[in-house]
Amino acid sequence: MAAGRRLGGFLKPGDTVYLHGELGSGKTVFVKGVAMALGIPPGDITSASFTIVAEHESATRKIPFYHIDLYRLEDSTDAEDIGIEEYPGRDGIAVIEWAERLMPHARGGIRVSITVTRGAPVAREGPREIIIEGIDEKDWNNSQRGNEWARKDN
């Protein structure tokens, strides 16, 4: 959640975050962190059951936040059929779980891969490796705000 909050502090209208990771790796928890950075209560963010796109309004920045969960889609053809490609780059911030199901339509944006480190008794409880690509590393490393969030959530 701390990494999501930290990334959320960098996001601006038009940004898209593509999340990759196996079932139970923590993608939705990461989205909750992004939402928190935008002033959206984490309890408002849920995994998809039948809703593929959930739209939220950022309380602090007054911009739309689109949480898109493609778990229920088979492939990119299904994504085309429901118009998912219209959300990236719009007036708000879009975070897409199971982004590999959007390919080849995913372009640009920030890519986040979450992997559960093996060896824990239960995979869901193990530590994670989070790789974020597409954001300036210098800005990330020097983010005072991000460092404060990371300390608070660890």
Residues 6+ apart with CB under 8 A from 48: 69, 70, 71, 72, 97
Domain assignment present for residue 87? The answer is yes
- The predicted pLDDT at position 118 comes to 72
pLDDT at 121: 52
- Read off the pLDDT band of 144 (50, 70, 90): very low
Name the residue with tokens 């409880």. 125
Which CATH number is 43's domain given?
3.40.50.300
Residue 17 has pLDDT above 90, yes or no: yes
Structural domain harbouring 59: 1-108
Question: Could you report the per-residue pLDDT of 31-44, keeping only the tens digit for each?
Answer: 999 999 999 999 99
State how many domains the chain has.
1
Q: What is the pTM of this model?
A: 0.80
Residue 58 lies in a domain: yes
Q: Which residue has the higher pLDDT, 27 or 87?
A: 27
What is the DSSP annotation of 53-120? Answer: EEEEE-TTT--EEEEEE-TT--SHHHHHHTTGGGSTTSSSEEEEETGGGTTTS--SSEEEEEEEPTTS
Do the domain assignments include residue 120?
no
The proportion of the chain whose per-residue pLDDT surpasses 70, expressed as a percent, equals 73
Q: Indicate the pLDDT class of residue 114, thresholds 50, 70 and 90.
A: very high
Residue 103 resides in a domain: yes
pLDDT at 20 over 80: yes
Instruction: Flag whether 133 is in a domain.
Output: no
pLDDT tens-place string over residues 52-76: 888 898 878 788 999 988 888 776 6
Residue 36 in domain:
yes
Dist. CA 87–CA 89, nearest whole Å = 6
Assign 151 a pLDDT band (cuts: 50, 70, 90).
very low
Taking all residues of the chain, what is their mean pLDDT, rounded to a whole number? Answer: 79
